[in-house]
Structure 1
């Protein structure tokens, strides 16, 4: 009995087992995964709130170098910010008004464009005749089955005008929020930086936080402004070149090329596909029509391989895999707007990760070159 009592006392005195490193890492991994899933869930269902906010921050970062330059010349930040935001709003409003007519005409002419393209490419229709005949037979069988008493259920959809009105109202609200929030962000100056510094207690932490914030803001702002200027120049060159070649509505294609150039690879391919179709149905000679996509290819190659790397530099160059994943993810999350801001957001994440030792592996993965190996 004494031995048993001693064993019981010994067991009671044993401390509880301490979680090992494996269990701690698994718990941290699970918490991180849950946080990422909840963040994606919030971004998806709260896109009407988060989308204009993120657009405003990116737009404000793009215009920040101009506001800083004006401040050094004695122009107060609220004044220069107001002038820039108002000028941007006027340019977008005028551009939207001028392009609304060609866009609506293009939408209305879509069936005719399809028929004209089919007639021009008649030599490609021969191999598809059998498939078309099979498709017609399937349609006839389906029509016969429906005529034998199958109940047809049609869900009435909202009218086109009501959908267009709703989309225009939503877009107008988003644009207004973006411009107003951008104005306040630009006019506030260093207010956010002061708040960030005040959240730390030690002077060393304050200096490090201020240095990181300024470095990230400076690099991202220069990148966004430089890329926006390059894309605008690319759109102007394409519009002028297509006007010389005799393409209809060259301004529309130039603006489309400038906007979609924020979408690497996919944007240029989309612009080239649409413009090539319009060129084929516009010009009588197929050889002359091919001058249009050739011109677009030359412009995009010069911009992507010479101009942008020379002006922006290689440090912020991203690898193709991360770009395509980001574009696919943000387009699924927020549609077309998400696809446009995918690469700028990826650059923001990369610059932020490069300034923290624990996140440098992520920044190295996003970069196009092995920066960490090169530094070693």
Structure 2
């Protein structure tokens, strides 16, 4: 495959350019067809517009390069003076460079106009040397024409292949889509068609957005450099627009070239600094403001994959491969999203995480890396609540750990790491400043005692009764687990979620409720009783009995039922009907909102 890409680059590069250009031109072709033009006319008109535009831009750039080449000798003294300054600042490092860079520095720093020294002959006389220049004979008209044609033919040949292939790709757009649908999986025609259409629209939208952003950035650089007085501003604007297709470093390659020219033109350093500042300001505005609004902060590729793809494609296809590296890799990632055989490409190069957040939580817990879990959780909770985090990440991760426990697929050491990590994370997210302290080694995961340990830790801070009884009537939410120790953990998490929202939540087990009430406690303090079950299908009778008992004991309270089954088993809870419950919730977020509405 690598040999095919390398040795076939003369054919593959123009074909690849044609396909990428087709994504840019497809919306324009569709717009022309909506205006009433035929397919062939629409395609030819679009390609003609692109051809004329590129020829005009190329002519301007060639003129700018010629002007820059003609003006460089004027700045030789300025360049030499600044190289001398830099050489002094670097203690001779610049002057000691070898290779082409050293030769170039020597060329600029050698004494200008030095008179030739006389040569001592064998007879003792001295004579001035005669300078001899060797010139090739003047070329005849046909030889000159052949030389010019030989220099311009390769790019013209490549451009011709690109536009011929582009025309046929646009004309055969529907046929190519059908072939890709057949390749991706023609068994489910509807799903595959939707997937291919979505992939094509996403790529086209991204390429158009990136193209327009790069053109706008190039225009801004052009105008800014023209106002600053830097020569050949159109050339640097065009270079910026092209090199911005190379992620991370492309725009700075153009910035360095423009800054070096500014330093050569201006005897001082102000113009060079203003040039570099212009690139910095424009890039910050574009990268941080415009691009996120158009197509998000990133291309959908992981940063490492962008760098690796740039290195790979530049090695295979040279500078053209460097420019095309991001579009090519993005196409491969999109193909991997919809073609099962190429799924590995999306996993390897895509920005989407390879593991879900619950899987990532459990994997970090197995490694005992609680700090990383807490850091990830806090990033998540910048836009979400603690209740949403527990619903979407913490509970699924606990169920993953429970599955491994049931299958005896977890060692005692891993069990201890998971236990410690879960306790540390819950303590940290609920605002306990002592979460980082090392706890005594114990394996409470097997016994399901995490909830009890967390409850005891909280009681040690809030007192035996988890708070004072000198509070207003109806200000306490009582949470009660239904039997199992897993329910005790779920109940403790609920209490901490409610307390995080400034709700006076306290937990009691069914056995504790059977004991005499604590001194000073009054039933009127409680406004809501939450009964928590993590196995609703098997706890239906137990939940109904508990609701009936709580209704008889605390008739003035609202009775809430919180059902938290495993998200991986999708149990049918239609049979779990509780007429005595005032509200039935299936998530922490829902019961939190229900409690907040009731407590108002």
Q: For this structure pair, what is the TM-score category when the shorter chain's length is used for normalisation?
A: 0.7 to 0.9
1:219 paired residue number: 202
* Cα shift readout 1:86-133 (whole Å, capped 9, x = no counterpart): 011111111111111221343466676676333124322224548858
Query: TM-score normalized by structure 2?
Result: 0.48
Matched, 1:312 2:274: no
Q: How far did 1:357 drift?
A: 5.0
Contact residue 311 and residue 322 of structure 2 kept, 8 A = yes
Q: 1:124 to 1:130 in 2, by over 3 A?
A: closer
User: Which protein has the bigger helix share?
Assistant: 1
Q: 1:345 to 1:134 in 2, by over 3 A?
A: closer
* Cα shift readout 1:339-370 (whole Å, capped 9, x = no counterpart): 11111111111111122456445324423452
Q: Which of the residues 307, 329, 353 maps onto 1:346?
A: 329
- Write out aligned runs for 1:1-376 (5 A): 39-107=1-69, 116-126=78-88, 127-129=90-92, 132=95, 165-196=149-180, 204-314=187-297, 316-357=299-340, 359-370=342-353, 373=356
Q: 1:130 to 1:262 in 2, by over 3 A?
A: closer
Q: Give unmatched runs, 5+ long, in structure 2.
A: 104-138, 360-600
* Cα shift readout 1:121-162 (whole Å, capped 9, x = no counterpart): 432222454885898xxx9xxxxxxxxxxxxxxxxxxx9x88
Query: Which protein is bigger by CA-based radius of gyration?
Result: 2
* Cα shift readout 1:10-45 (whole Å, capped 9, x = no counterpart): xxxxxxxxxxxxxxxxxxxxxxxxxxxxx1101111
Q: 3-state SS of the aligned residue for 2:157?
A: helix
Contact residue 262 and residue 275 of structure 2 kept, 8 A = yes
Q: How far did 1:308 drift?
A: 1.5
Q: Distance in 2 between matches of 1:280 and 1:335?
A: 29
Q: Distance in 2 between matches of 1:357 and 1:43?
A: 23
Q: Distance in 2 between matches of 1:224 and 1:309?
A: 14
Residues matched between the structures, number:
314
Q: Give unmatched runs, 5+ long, in structure 1.
A: 1-38, 140-158
Stretch deviating more after TM superposition (69-78 or 225-234): 69-78
User: Which protein has the bigger strand share?
Assistant: 2
Contact residue 364 and residue 372 of structure 1 kept, 8 A = no
Q: Distance in 2 between matches of 1:133 and 1:276?
A: 23
Q: How far did 1:215 drift?
A: 2.0
Q: Distance in 1 between matches of 2:206 and 2:77?
A: 43
Contact residue 263 and residue 343 of structure 1 kept, 8 A = yes
Query: TM-score normalized by structure 1?
Result: 0.74
Q: 1:318 to 1:129 in 2, by over 3 A?
A: same
Contact residue 228 and residue 271 of structure 2 kept, 8 A = no
